Amino acid sequence: KQEVTQIPAALSVPEGENLVLNCSFTDSAIYNLQWFRQDPGKGLTSLLLIQSSQREQTSGRLNASLDKSSGRSTLYIAASQPGDSATYLCAVKGPDSWGKLQFGAGTQVVVTP
């Protein structure tokens, strides 16, 4: 059974610092990996989706890398801002799950002014 782990569970950084969020998964046979953002009491917003054949994806200040063989993905957020404060979740989709995602518990990020 696929297990997804996110470390650390919480992170606090001063504004302007780069954020590095980690996600690991136990079964490397994944179809893709998604990073989401969740604000308190809200739903999830998709940030980046990396296909299993890709090594990284970029969108603005966000960059996500994927190393399938080692079961790891990293989300980098450059020059963090207070508005980046949220919980960030990663989710993997297995090759035969037809869209079902396995989520990590998330990393809660606080960016202080």
Partner 1 sequence: EADIYQTPRYLVIGTGKKITLECSQTMGHDKMYWYQQDPGMELHLIHYSYGVNSTEKGDLSSESTVSRIRTEHFPLTLESARPSHTSQYLCASTKGTGTDTQYFGPGTRLTVL
Comparing CA positions, the residue from 61, 11, 52 lying closest to residue 29 is: 52
Cα 27 to chain centroid distance, Å, stands at 17
List residues binding partner 1 (CB under 8 A): 4, 31-32, 34, 36, 41-46, 49, 51, 89, 91, 93, 98-101, 103-106, 108
Helix (H) or strand (E) holding 60: none
In whole angstroms, how close is the CB of 57 to partner 1 at the nearest point? Answer: 12
User: CA 8, CA 11: separation in Å to the nearest integer?
Assistant: 7
Least distance in angstroms from the C-beta of 89 to partner 1 = 7
Smallest distance, partner 1 to C-beta of residue 113, A: 25
Within its chain, how far is the Cα of 7 from the centroid? 10
> Whose Cβ is closer to partner 1: residue 41's or residue 60's?
41
CB of 68 to partner 1, least distance (A): 16
**CB count in 10 Å sphere of residue 104:** 24
Q: Which residue, 15 or 42, has its beta carbon nearer to partner 1?
A: 42
